[in-house]
């Protein structure tokens, strides 16, 4: 009884081999009977079937690819009254379907980075914007003093020099969108600054290599990450006065507010 399953398996494999061998011999004989016209039809249908199968694979991949929709994000002032600074953002939503009746949902985009390039007449700078949902590049430092242990926050250089990354999951509405911080302006200043993890290397968030002192500039956002390749969006920043009330971002083709 212990070896009965082996006997049954051997019989099954032998029977299967016989059937396949007979079937192959049958097809070989049938192919020998084909004339030139039949061969032409066979080749055309085979090629057409292969192209259709390949096309279906490409279609499925396209329908499932992340479907990132870019728009103007929030303008986030600080909590002082009146606000002392404001950060402007670009908003990204991963729409779950390429179109409403699509049978397949989009997948997530992983480890997405947003490279920002700001250009004016005389200046140009590039940096990786900071995703609003990611933690600040800060670490806790405990210091022993005569009064006891004091815990303070300091910038972690290793974190500050790394590009901010975000996983963008399919979302049905803007409530599940992600925001990329692009620039910061302090009220009363004529200049503004690009905003990234690197900004935290300056205690006042005024990193000199991210400074622009212009009333307007053009910008380009390049999103890159798993599943999306590279996605480009042009935008403009308006900095008409020293007030943060007149500090805005618009996407290319749209007027300033």
pLDDT in tens, the chain (257 residues): 545 555 555 565 565 555 555 555 555 555 566 566 665 766 777 777 777 777 776 777 666 778 889 999 999 888 788 889 999 999 999 888 776 777 777 888 899 999 999 998 788 999 999 999 998 887 766 666 676 666 666 788 888 889 999 999 888 777 778 999 999 999 999 999 999 999 999 989 999 999 999 888 999 999 999 888 899 999 999 999 999 999 999 998 544 43
| Look-up of token digits 């022993």 | 144
Give the tokens for residue 231. 């996605």
Q: What is the pTM of this model?
A: 0.74
Q: What is the DSSP letter of 199?
A: G
| Look-up of token digits 């103007």 | 72
Q: How far apart are CA 101 and CA 148, in angstroms?
A: 64
Whether the Cβ atoms of residue 84 and residue 78 lie closer than 8 Å to each other:
yes
C-alpha torsion sign, points 197, 200, 206, 210: negative
Q: How far apart are CA 78 and CA 116, in angstroms?
A: 23
Q: Is 206 exposed, middle or buried (0-12, 13-18, 19+ CB in 10 A)?
A: middle
Q: What is the chain's Cα-based Rg?
A: 30
């Amino acid at each position: 009884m212990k070896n009965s399953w082996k006997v049954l398996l051997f019989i099954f494999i032998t029977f299967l081999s016989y059937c396949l061998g007979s079937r192959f011999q049958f097809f070989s004989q049938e192919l020998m009977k084909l004339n030139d016209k039949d061969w032409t039809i066979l080749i055309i249908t085979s090629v057409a079937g292969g192209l259709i199968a390949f096309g279906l694979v490409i279609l499925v991949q396209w329908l499932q690819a992340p479907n990132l929709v870019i728009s103007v994000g929030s303008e986030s002032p600080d909590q002082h009254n009146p606000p002392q600074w404001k950060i402007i953002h670009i908003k990204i939503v991963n729409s779950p379907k390429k179109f409403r009746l699509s049978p397949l949902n989009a997948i997530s985009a992983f480890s997405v980075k947003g490279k920002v390039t700001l250009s004016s007449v005389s200046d140009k700078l590039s940096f990786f914007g900071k995703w609003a949902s990611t933690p600040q590049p800060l670490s806790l430092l405990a210091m022993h003093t005569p009064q006891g242990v004091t815990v303070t926050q300091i910038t972690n250089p290793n974190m500050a020099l790394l590009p901010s990354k975000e996983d963008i999951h399919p979302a049905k509405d803007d409530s599940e969108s992600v925001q990329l911080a692009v620039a910061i302006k302090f009220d009363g200043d004529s200049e503004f600054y690009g905003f990234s993890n690197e900004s935290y290397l300056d205690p006042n968030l005024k990193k000199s290599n991210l400074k622009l002192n212009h009333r307007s500039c053009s910008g380009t956002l390049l999103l890159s990450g798993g599943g999306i390749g590279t996605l480009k969006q042009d935008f403009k920043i308006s900095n008409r006065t020293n007030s943060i009330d007149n500090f805005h971002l618009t996407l290319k083709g749209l007027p300033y507010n």
